[in-house]
Amino acid sequence: MDWLNYHHLLNFWMVAREGSVQRASEMLSVTPASVSVQVRQLERSLGVQLFAKQGRGLVLTEMGKEVLEYAEEIFSTGRELLDMVKGKPLGRPLELRVGIRDVMPKLVAYQLLQPAIAGDESMRLICHEGKMADLVADLAIHKLDVVLSDTALDPLYRVQAHSYKLGSSEVSIVGNPDLAKKYRGGFPKSLHGAPFLLPTKETVLRRQLERWFAETEIVPMIRGEFADSAMLKIAGRNGLGLFAVPSIVEEEIRKLYGLTSIGRIDGIQEQFFAVSIERRIKHPGVLAICKSKDH
């Protein structure tokens, strides 16, 4: 009777997901030579070629693509089996491991987590912030249960995951009281020439704002660009410039930072997603998050 070596399959799956033996070896904490041997042994046991060379890299053969689909299902089912058997560890709270994309507004992320927190007061929340690529990698190897993002999962990521739209929000412009008083009249045309703070270029909000500025022929004076949303708000509180926030947390931001609302922008909406690797969501915390909104 033939047996499938799941260790060999894991090495293949990691190479296929990472796109190279070197990156797969780093993820598995083994040598590249070890990974290559494991993949070749899997090919011999299956009697098929799984990868073909393309330049300096590797690409999946047609059979490799089919084997990858089975591997994704196998490891996903294995994770579900472990979750089912373990359940909630005795004497320990159930953990919800959440990845939050670094450009995601943190007040919004906390609101999205509320259904999970409220559903089980004993649940332990473990949050990690990072770049989407890093979070997706951790999600794929089950270091995270869910990722919160301002975008759905890009198909370029070689991971079989599912994006659940949790909601959307209009966008408001706020500033400290002095700037708000100066630029509130005649909004939005008053923003022409006004000092403005922007998120960095990789964010959806930045692209939407730039498009809106071009369409309305408004040219603000850009005083700063910030990857850290907290730093942006501190700079705004101290009068460096006006800035945009999701309207759903506008009131909370105004209270926390002593800011004043100037107006809402028509035609711009931020969207928020939960990304899960699970085919059928079992984790009660992730389930509560994904069921909390219509999507």
Tell which wins on pLDDT, 78 or 136: 136
Would you state the structure tokens that stand for residue 111, as one six-digit string? 């609101």
* Residues paired with 31 in a beta bridge: none
Residues 75 and 204 in one domain: no
pLDDT at 295: 39
pLDDT at 85: 63
CATH number at residue 202: 3.40.190.10
Q: Is the pLDDT of residue 212 over 90?
A: yes
* Residues paired with 147 in a beta bridge: 99, 275
pLDDT at 170: 95
Q: Is the pLDDT of residue 90 over 60?
A: no
Nearest to 270 by CA among 191, 181, 179, 207: 207
Q: CA–CA distance from 160 to each of 18, 84, 157, 194 (Å)?
A: 13, 21, 8, 44
Across 28-37, 225-234, 240-249, the highest mean pLDDT is recorded for 240-249
Q: Is the pLDDT of residue 1 over 50?
A: no
CB atoms inside a 10 Å sphere around CB 180: 19
CATH number at residue 70: 1.10.10.10
Nearest to 165 by CA among 283, 285, 271, 276: 271
Residues 69 and 28 in one domain: yes
Q: Report, as an integer, the average pLDDT of 224-248.
A: 94
pLDDT in tens, 35-70: 999 999 999 999 999 998 887 778 899 999 999 888
- Range of 252's domain? 169-268
Domain boundary among 86, 112, 146: 86
Which positions ≥6 away from 224 have C-beta within 8 Å? 197, 198, 232, 235, 240, 241
Residues 60 and 190 in one domain: no
Report the mean per-residue pLDDT for the chain: 87
Domain boundary among 46, 62, 86: 86
Domain count, the chain: 3
pLDDT at 57: 78
Whether residue 1 lies inside any domain: the answer is: no
% of the chain at pLDDT higher than 90 = 53
Residues 136 and 255 in one domain: no
Alpha carbon distance 128, 140 (integer Å): 15
Domain boundary among 42, 57, 86: 86
% of the chain at pLDDT higher than 70 = 93
pLDDT at 121: 76
- The 10 Å CB-count burial string (b at 16+, else e) for 262-274 is bbebeebebebbb
DSSP the chain: -----HHHHHHHHHHHHHSSHHHHHHHHTS-HHHHHHHHHHHHHHHTS--EEEETTEEEE-HHHHHHHHHHHHHHHHHHHHHHHHH-SPTTSPPEEEEEEETTS-HHHHHHHHHHHHHH-TTPEEEEEEE-HHHHHHHHHTTS-SEEEESSPPPTTS----EEEEEEEEEEEEEE-HHHHHHHSTTTTGGGTT-EEEEE-TTSHHHHHHHHHHHHHT---EEEEEESSHHHHHHHHHTTS-BEEEEGGGHHHHHHHHT-EEEEEEEEEEEEEEEEE--SS---HHHHHHHHSS--
Residues 152 and 277 in one domain: yes
Whether residue 111 lies inside any domain: the answer is: yes
